[in-house]
Amino acid sequence: MLEIELDIFSGMPNPTWTLSGSEEDELIQRVMADPAQLSPVATEDEQFSLGYRGLVVRLIKSDESSWTRARFAAGRALPLAFRVGSKPASAEAPIADWLLHTADSRDLGVSDEVRSVATQGVSLVQSSWTAANPTATFDSAPDTTEEPHGPTGPDETGIQGSTWWACGSNYFNANASLFNDPAYVTRNNCYCFASNHLANSRYALPGRRSGNPATSITCGGVTAGLYSDGWKDGCQTNGLTIVLVIWPNVDYHFYRLVTGEPNWWWGHKPGGTPAKYTDDCGNSIYQYNGQGYAPNNCCRGNYTNFCGYFYQNNSTALVA
């Protein structure tokens, strides 16, 4: 039995459905015709933007189905899990488009807005020259025409928890390699990365661990869950600094400050895909002398609501 996952959310559960026997047979034919459309479920070779990241196909029940019996021409078995939508496909037979249509007859509770985002296709990010090195020190500011913002940028008075650059007891750990380990990458979401703890809870939700899970995907609803989990509005000893952004009424996403001055780097992990230090435009999320990018002014796709900065001691920032 094959399960299809529409990989589009960062924090909230992705829509899933199973294929019928006839649909499984057709998928086999399409995969056999163009196996180059398949890619690993998670690989650092593919940098995804927030939002639609294709579809993940998984064998969830080995029942001697057509899928388990099928073989490529060279005798190799079909993969047990893979992603489609991120590799080029012929105009006549894109597997991702066909799989999306198999959801039409299912009542998945997917809004027209979410469907519209998915039909626009996958956007892979072309990383900038500083994309993968948050421990580097640079002699000049990032090449950006954005308005400077941060330690020496415009006043953030009125933005919740906005003293992030003034905290003197931060815990910094640019640890994407841990979260990107094959054993963990698909099992921890953006909230796990924000907490700097491997919860192995793919859909960790603010407030669930403390018994008060977020009740609405709004700044107020998710923030209430954060407070319940112990996050504060001001600096904490041995503290983590995170930012919450919202795709209104749809999904939430987090960024975490991973290094201090002079280059303030932020990292984030879109859902079950690899953690990274770049935004949706491929810009490195760091600032030098107050210029560059931070979560308030980086490319965030549909995550348009900026909900503020939050802080907690690294040793107590646990999630579920």
What's the pLDDT tens digit per position in 260-273? 988 899 999 999 99
**Residue 288 binned pLDDT confidence (cut-offs 50, 70, 90):** confident
Residue 158's pLDDT is 59
Report how far residue 188's alpha carbon sits from residue 244's, in angstroms, rounded to the nearest whole number: 17
Tell whether the model's pLDDT for residue 255 goes beyond 80.
yes
The structure's pTM equals 0.91
Q: Compute CA 264 distance to the chain's CA centroid, rounded to the nearest angstrom.
A: 20
Residue 6's pLDDT is 98
- The token pair that represents 123 in the structure block: 């956007």
Report how far residue 178's alpha carbon sits from residue 269's, in angstroms, rounded to the nearest whole number: 12
Range with lowest mean pLDDT among 117-121, 123-127, 201-205, 289-293: 123-127
Tell whether the model's pLDDT for residue 115 goes beyond 50.
yes
**Residue 100 binned pLDDT confidence (cut-offs 50, 70, 90):** very high
Residues 245, 305 contacting (CB under 8 angstroms): yes
**Residue 298 binned pLDDT confidence (cut-offs 50, 70, 90):** very high
Q: Tell me the three state secondary structure of residue 269.
A: coil
**Residue 142 binned pLDDT confidence (cut-offs 50, 70, 90):** low
Q: Tell me the three state secondary structure of residue 111.
A: coil
Report how far residue 306's alpha carbon sits from residue 295's, in angstroms, rounded to the nearest whole number: 8
Q: Tell me the three state secondary structure of residue 164.
A: helix
- The token pair that represents 202 in the structure block: 């793919």
Strands 263-267 and 55-59: unpaired
C-alpha angle 2/114/105, rounded to 5°?
45
Residue 17's pLDDT is 97
H/E stretch holding 252: strand 251-257
Q: Tell me the three state secondary structure of residue 247.
A: strand
Residue 179's pLDDT is 95
Query: Angle 95-102/21-33 helices, nearest 10 degrees?
Result: 170
State what percent of residues in the chain have pLDDT above 70.
Answer: 89
Select the more confidently predicted residue: 255 or 287.
255
Return the number of other C-beta atoms located less than 10 Å from residue 13's C-beta.
Answer: 12
Identity of the amino acid at 207: G
C-alpha angle 278/283/285, rounded to 5°?
55
Helices and strands (H, E) in the chain, number of each type: 7, 11
Q: What is the DSSP letter of 16?
A: E
What dihedral do alpha carbons 69, 74, 78, 84 form, nearest 10°? Answer: -140
Tell whether the model's pLDDT for residue 151 goes beyond 90.
no
Closest listed residue to residue 273, CA positions, set 46, 112, 109, 78: 46
Residue 272's pLDDT is 96
DSSP 42-97: S-TTS-BPSS---EEEEE---SS-HHHH-B-TTSPBPPSEEEESSS---TT--HHH
Q: Tell me the three state secondary structure of residue 274.
A: coil
